Structure 1
């Protein structure tokens, strides 16, 4: 049974700002010790080497809502956060096959151009990362939902991206994450693995839920984010961290690939 929503106001720290993307994170170990030599660093390449379909399926149910937000900008990061610190983008419930449930609240949206995670070695044009905190505990663990975008000039403009683009320079505006991740969209296959923040201090307290299938968006939209994070002093080659090699600690890597629940029905038809 899913517990009713309880909003807790907890002041949290989301990392450090004394870094840049000149080397896409290769020099971060010189700044933050947790960005080097640990076992579960992110991002990773998601492929069959890390796939494990023998574990219990994990389902998650987003209940995102229109939220008044603001964009915080500094030299290293642009983040969309609720305008009211005690608010969130709406709850995200995760439920396993044993009916054990956990509730998170969306607190930060990051845009990565190009994508940080790769799928079978492919790096998509854009990754949208929605970082969550636990709603029913004071633990500092995070849960991040990621979706990819790939360029397709025949595609219609994505309404979520367009809302961000149209309001990017406003002090506050209303953003609806349900335009991006809907309940019907969340049934598609995704990867789940235990990892870290992809920015200093690279803390290893983050569970990643990454949808496999990318959205399509025209170049007119993707170019907006490309221009933000390329060809500048801080972002010469994008604002993504390079892929972390975790094969030497494969036993500690837990990446799950959830099969499409409708795939077996399609195969029978």
Structure 2
């Protein structure tokens, strides 16, 4: 399997809150030992020099649904979670060369401004991370889906971002993740690797599905998230962890690239 299985306590699931982003994670090894000395740390720069492209048997099936959610806020992060603890945003099914079909339930949404992962050295304006927990099992495995947004003032307002912006200060509201990731979108190219949480305690029990192509959104939307996570005492320069060194903290990370399954056919038809 892509990740070894581990029974996680609630504190491990949600991480620790005794940290800040004044150094964008560079000082976390002084606070949390697990953020230091490991070999599968996230985020990373996803580039062709470290990518294996011969894995064609990776499949990703999201079945997200409208879900009643609430936003939890503390000094280190804002999370969107289901309003009912036993609920989830809908299932995510994955099949790859490491395991049989696995079902996950979406449990937490993070917004990172600017993005944590880079694509060929490019850091996009916003990264939306959807963290999932394995369903139908007493043992827990984590899987996070990431998508990017880039500023384009000619673009229409993105419906998913607008759902969040319009309801941000409400006690609870209905959020539909299928406004962001659909079955049609899931065939787009993405990177897959085994890494860690990007916040303390940096647990190395997380599979990442990072979609390559960014969505476009106008500055009127992206500025909302920028203002949440910049120019404050806790977030002076954003709420992202700096990319990890592929020669040390991310030394054992192996990245697979799922190509567009229709790209070859389209090229042959031209």
What TM bracket, shorter-length normalisation? over 0.9
How far residue 50 of structure 1 moved from its aligned partner, in angstroms, is 1.6
Partner of 1:260: helix, strand, or coil?
coil
* CA distance in structure 1 between the aligned counterparts of 2:137 and 2:56, rounded to whole angstroms: 24
Partner of 2:241: helix, strand, or coil?
coil
Conservation of the 8 A alpha-carbon contact between 1:148 and 1:211: yes
Match status 1:196 vs 2:212: no
Matches within 5 A, 1:212-227: 212-227=212-227
* CA distance in structure 1 between the aligned counterparts of 2:99 and 2:31, rounded to whole angstroms: 42
Conservation of the 8 A alpha-carbon contact between 2:110 and 2:128: yes
How far residue 250 of structure 1 moved from its aligned partner, in angstroms, is 7.5
Matches within 5 A, 1:1-150: 13-96=13-96, 100-150=100-150
Structure 1 residue runs of 5 or longer lacking an equivalent are 1-9
RMSD of the alignment, in Å? 1.6
Partner of 1:247: helix, strand, or coil?
coil
Q: Measured at CA, do residues 237 and 148 of structure 1 come closer, stay the same or move farther in structure 2, by a change above 3 Å?
A: same
TM-score by length of 1: 0.93
How far residue 44 of structure 1 moved from its aligned partner, in angstroms, is 0.1
Conservation of the 8 A alpha-carbon contact between 1:35 and 1:201: yes
* CA distance in structure 2 between the aligned counterparts of 1:98 and 1:219, rounded to whole angstroms: 40
Moved more, 88-97 or 223-232: 88-97
Partner of 1:161: helix, strand, or coil?
helix
Q: Measured at CA, do residues 111 and 249 of structure 1 come closer, stay the same or move farther in structure 2, by a change above 3 Å?
A: closer
What corresponds to 1:231 in structure 2?
231
What corresponds to 1:4 in structure 2?
none
Matches within 5 A, 1:145-184: 145-184=145-184
What corresponds to 1:260 in structure 2?
260
Structure 2 residue runs of 5 or longer lacking an equivalent are 1-8
* CA distance in structure 2 between the aligned counterparts of 1:133 and 1:101, rounded to whole angstroms: 14
Conservation of the 8 A alpha-carbon contact between 1:40 and 1:246: no
Q: Measured at CA, do residues 104 and 125 of structure 1 come closer, stay the same or move farther in structure 2, by a change above 3 Å?
A: same
How far residue 252 of structure 1 moved from its aligned partner, in angstroms, is 2.6
* CA distance in structure 1 between the aligned counterparts of 2:243 and 2:249, rounded to whole angstroms: 15
How far residue 138 of structure 1 moved from its aligned partner, in angstroms, is 2.2
Conservation of the 8 A alpha-carbon contact between 2:42 and 2:250: no
* CA distance in structure 1 between the aligned counterparts of 2:40 and 2:97, rounded to whole angstroms: 25
TM-score by length of 2: 0.93
